[in-house]
Amino acid sequence: MKRTIVPFGPQHPVLPEPIHLDLVLEDEKVVEAIPSFGFVHRGMEDLASKRDFNDYLYVVERICGICSYMHGMAYCEGAERIFGVEIPDRAKYLRTIWCELSRLHSHLLWLGLLADAFGFEALFMQSWRVREKILDMVEDSTGGRLISSVNRIGGVARDMDSAMLAGFVAQFDKMESELRALTKVFLTDSTVRARLFEVGVLTKQDALLYGAVGPMMRASGIELDTRKLGYAAYGKLDFDIITSNGCDALARCEVRIGEIFQSFRLIRQAVDKIPAGEIYIPVSGNPKGEATVRVEQPRGEALYYMKANGTRNLERFRVRTPTFSNVYSLLKILPGAQFADVPLLILTIDPCISCTER
Amino acid sequence: MKEMIEKTSIGPAVLKQYMKEAAAEGCRLVQIHANRMDGRYELIYSLALEYRLIQLYMVILEDTEIESISSIYPAAQLYEQEMVELFGVKIRNVAEDPHVKLYHVKGHPMK
């Protein structure tokens, strides 16, 4: 059969960030996808060796807007490991609460984008309406809606008083009730299922082989979540790892929705258990040594490698973002898919090109 | 759970065999990256078995050509391609898709 190559991106309505795929088609079926990135690569890893390690925190937070908080936190965790300092317990709980607020707004963002991609405008708007309440909480507690800049090497820069925390939790019941109604539509509505069920199947074996991480991996039946390593205050909190054996786009939706409810559960526990006390301990000097940190971002496991040589600059900073790891799985689920499903399948990995183009 | 990180040094001659055994054991590839050293590269291969992280350190001379592990871990292709484009690391059989270009850069900016 005659093959046609259709260029997809780097500018495309489904994704405001630049990624280019050459889609090789036979009729309407994709037989191969050839990627090209690097349109907005910023050389941030290289910049680490030229900036003071304290100043560089502000750069790390700008690797990506949606994952900004977790990039900053992981960087601080790495630096704290090199310095060999243990931050105060209250700071660990505050970090955990902000992490979960980040996960909530990221997953709700994704649900809205997914609904928009399959043409369900009302579902898109309802998802983002709930997300706005989370962003309001982030703004109230940090002063910023996306880039919060509350992490410091040695703890956090802002506290949340008990009234604020109680106020957040008081809103959760209503939000959960609204989200349960949306969940019913996402997972059972026939028009949604027609677009997601058995589309973009990634088997458990392939997920392992192709390096899938996060919800993409858990939707293929692999029960792994880096939060179980116990960084920040996760070691003192209970949560379930949400998995699905569906392996398709619907399973990825199901896992992310399940994780939203687990985030509410984690924040409630953290608010109950957060101890009083300091939120920061001063850390001085220049770091020397090496640290590897893994954290569970909304899009999956991220790995940070930091090497310091006793000067004010890091010798090497490396971040492997979840999208970089999930791209290969995307390239493997596209062959065999219908051309019309390509935007949807790209979205199901929850791509963050800013992270990838660090 | 405290994170366990195992650090091991490895030579280019045994890299592929090590990876074959790791894959047979069920390790997944987390990432690969290069560090620049004087006239050498330090390559770090990160593998994970459930929550255990295994970091393999391999130091090679600048002109040493190493073997790709993408036949064992297909996802290694992107990491290897990144090391080739940004650092100029020489890797044999780096990509199953030789036309894949990750970064639109001239030369090797991190070499």
B56 beta partners? B8, B45
Q: Say which range, A52-66, A342-356, B71-85, has the weakest mean pLDDT.
A: A342-356
Share of chain B above pLDDT 90, in %: 50
**Band of pLDDT at residue B101, cut at 50, 70 and 90:** low
pLDDT at A251: 96
The fold for domain B5-92 equals Beta Polymerase; domain 2 (3.30.460)
Question: Of A113, A301, A294, A297, which is closest to residue A222 (Cα–Cα)?
Answer: A301
Share of chain A above pLDDT 70, in %: 100
Measured between CA atoms, how close is A234 to chain B, in angstroms?
Answer: 9
**Band of pLDDT at residue A206, cut at 50, 70 and 90:** very high
pLDDT at B95: 61
**Band of pLDDT at residue A265, cut at 50, 70 and 90:** very high
State whether B73 and A229 contact (CB < 8 Å).
Answer: no
Domain assignment of residue A355, yes or no: no
**Band of pLDDT at residue B1, cut at 50, 70 and 90:** low
Alpha-carbon span A260 to A257, nearest angstrom: 5
Contact A18, A10 (CB under 8 A): yes
Q: Say which range, A107-121, A211-225, A249-263, B1-15, has the weakest mean pLDDT.
A: B1-15
Question: Average pLDDT of A271-294?
Answer: 93
Residues of A in contact with B33 (CB under 8 A): 305, 318, 320
Nearest CB neighbour to A305, from listed B44, B77, B99: B44
State whether A211 and B5 contact (CB < 8 Å).
Answer: no
Measured between CA atoms, how close is A35 to chain B, in angstroms?
Answer: 6
Residues of B in contact with A325 (CB under 8 A): 30-31, 75
Nearest CB neighbour to B103, from listed A38, A307, A327: A38
β-bridge pairing A155-156 and A151-152:
antiparallel
For residue B88, how many other CB atoms are within 10 A of its CB?
17
**Whole-model pTM?**
0.92
State whether A46 and B97 contact (CB < 8 Å).
Answer: no
β-bridge pairing B5-9 and A288-297:
unpaired
Residues of B in contact with A36 (CB under 8 A): 100-102, 104
pLDDT at A54: 87
Nearest CB neighbour to A328, from listed B5, B75, B99: B75
Local structure of B88: helix, strand or coil:
coil
Residues of A in contact with B35 (CB under 8 A): 307, 315-316
Which residues lie closer than 8 Å to A15 by C-beta, 6 or more apart? A9, A343, A346, A347, A351, A353
State whether A211 and B73 contact (CB < 8 Å).
Answer: yes
Q: Which residue has the tokens 């909480």?
A: A137
A-side interface with B, Cβ within 8 Å?
34-39, 41, 43, 45-46, 208-211, 224, 226, 228-231, 235, 292, 294, 301, 303, 305, 307, 315-316, 318, 320, 324-325, 327-329, 332
Residue A125 clears pLDDT 80, i.e. is over it: yes
Q: Say which range, A137-151, A340-354, B9-23, B27-41, has the weakest mean pLDDT.
A: A340-354
How many domains would you assign to chain A? 1
Measured between CA atoms, how close is B13 to chain A, in angstroms?
Answer: 23
Backbone angles phi, psi at B52, to 5 degrees: -85, 130
Here the ipTM equals 0.89
β-bridge pairing A20-26 and A3-8:
antiparallel
**Band of pLDDT at residue A319, cut at 50, 70 and 90:** very high
pLDDT at A357: 77
Task: Report pLDDT digits (tens) over A1-11.
Answer: 889 999 988 88
The number of C-beta contacts closer than 8 angstroms across A and B is 84
Domain assignment of residue A7, yes or no: no
pLDDT at A215: 96
A204, A223, A234, A320: best mutation site toward chain B, by most B Cβ within 10 Å? A320
What DSSP line would sit under B9-43, residue for residue? E--GGGHHHHHHHHHHHT-EEEEEEEEEETTEEEE
Question: Of A113, A127, A248, A123, which is closest to residue A194 (Cα–Cα)?
Answer: A248
Which structural domain range is residue A62 located in? 42-350
Which chain A residue has its CA at the smallest distance from B34's CA? A318
Cα–Cα distances in angstroms (integers) from residue A102 to residues A63, A178, A216, in the given order: 15, 19, 18
CATH assignment of the domain containing A100 = 1.10.645.10
**Ranges of each domain in chain B:** 5-92
**Band of pLDDT at residue A31, cut at 50, 70 and 90:** very high
**Band of pLDDT at residue B111, cut at 50, 70 and 90:** confident
Nearest CB neighbour to A328, from listed B36, B74, B99: B74
B-side interface with A, Cβ within 8 Å?
1-3, 5, 26, 28-31, 33, 35-36, 44, 46, 50-51, 53, 55, 73-75, 77-78, 97, 99-105, 109-110
pLDDT at B97: 57
Domain assignment of residue A26, yes or no: no
Residue A292 clears pLDDT 90, i.e. is over it: yes
**Band of pLDDT at residue A356, cut at 50, 70 and 90:** confident
